[in-house]
Amino acid sequence: MAIKLYNTLTRRKETFEPMEEGKIKMYVCGPTVYNYIHIGNARPAVVFDMIRRYFEYRGFDVQYVSNFTDVDDKIIKAAEEMGEDVMAIAERFIKAYHEDTGALGVKPADEHPRVTDTMPEIIEFIDRLTEKGYAYESEGDVYFRTRKFDTYGQLSHQSIDDLQVGARIKVGEKKEDPLDFVLWKSAKPGEISWNSPWGKGRPGWHIECSAMVKKYLGETIDIHAGGQDLAFPHHENEIAQSEALNEKKMANYWIHNGYINIDNEKMSKSLGNFILVHDIIRQFDPEVVRFFIVNAHYRSPINFSDEQLNSAKSSLERIKTTYLNVSHRLEETADLGESTDRWLKEIKKYREQFTEAMDDDFNSANAVAAMFDLVKTANKYLEEKQTNKGVLKAFLTEFDDMAFVLGVRLGEEELLDEEVEQLIEERIEARKNRDFARADEIRDQLKDQNIILEDTPQGTRWKRGQ
């Protein structure tokens, strides 16, 4: 069956057709790294990781790029408030992002480009837009001429006339038109900056992704994705910049995930319901948080609460219990036993249900429902007096495939030596920072994996228990 996805650009489901057979170029907007990510940031990271995994499950080679905005007004403000260097702030929270999303089972992107590493390409991009008349310099700032791009508003389905209502020029801006947006900002005294044809400064927010997409994936890509809040103006402006310069479609499909509410209220700092992933995964197993996120259609709004997380925890434990019971029965089954085609047909039916759900705009809610149907059937099969190794293996294979797509682990996986060393390094750093709760958590995590730590004057040593 063909994969269908909802394209924000056309506002309808479309059959996915890659530019190159068997290959997909996918770009996902990443975070601005001035703090730990919140649960709203976690949703796109998890959702598009799941979509990437499903494409891989279907046999596609996915080239996956997700950026870091490592220089921005928010980062500069955070650096001033903390009395630290901008790059040090960015580096710290990039590391924290990898730790938090890694805990949520998100695979690293093939490329994680940073604005500061893409500066030559960004400057060249702006310079060429200026040469083509789509951009202009004004007292050290550079702006994009929005009205010159005839199809502006195509992604958000707004007309220029609609957008003009309420548009204004802020104090300090030197724009020709209130609708124009900034590509390059002239440096304020003491700010981090780069040399450019327009003087010292730094990029505007929107231009960075256009430059990174072109550098790492090309002028036209298959899929561009991000949170619903990015559709306008960020992605709208990306389209304008890229298509004005390249004279080609920027992306064939635009995908956006829905919002997360906190206890039925929109998440915001003003309401004090701003939940950081760094904090929530200390209270709940990160895998439970991920399962909560994928147990809903990615475009639907979801409500985040302790009650919902506890429900996700119970559901995931139910799946894991069945998986382990099937694994144990397989170890106890001496031979192949009798042929049981009926059960194999049942298992195949649930595979088809799972695939059909994911083919329909990555409907992971229905995919999880198919997984629970598989659980019910597996439990029913375990009641049989005589089980068949081939059937048990088929159940486990199906569970493993579904779990891979959803990004959860069902069986116990032994930590590799390098993973143990990384956790020990994290524990040492936690103790230096007097974060004893995290240090104890790591020790307990390793103990559960039968790994014994010994703190000595020469450092921390470890061994596997007998």
pTM: 0.87
What residues are paired with 14 via a beta bridge? 5
Distance (Å) of CA 258 to CA 41, 130, 229: 11, 35, 8
Tell me: the pLDDT tens digits for 81-120?
A: 999 999 999 999 999 999 999 999 999 999 999 999 999 9
Could you tell me which residues come within 8 angstroms of residue 233 by beta carbon, excluding any fewer than 6 positions away? Answer: 156, 181, 206
Give the pairing type, strands 451-456 and 459-464: antiparallel
Q: Reply yes or no on whether the pLDDT at 123 is more than 80.
A: yes
Q: If residue 46 lies in a helix (H) or strand (E), which one and from where to where?
A: helix 39-57
Tell me: the pLDDT tens digits for 314-368?
A: 999 999 999 999 999 998 887 665 667 899 999 999 999 999 999 999 999 999 9
pLDDT at 15: 98
The average pLDDT across 438-452 equals 81
Distance (Å) of CA 289 to CA 48, 340, 427: 15, 37, 23
Q: Reply yes or no on whether the pLDDT at 466 is more than 70.
A: no
Q: Reply yes or no on whether the pLDDT at 291 is more than 50.
A: yes
What residues are paired with 251 via a beta bridge? 221
pLDDT at 48: 98
The average pLDDT across 174-181 equals 91
Please name which of 276, 278, 281, 279 lies closest in space to residue 291, comparing C-alpha atoms.
281
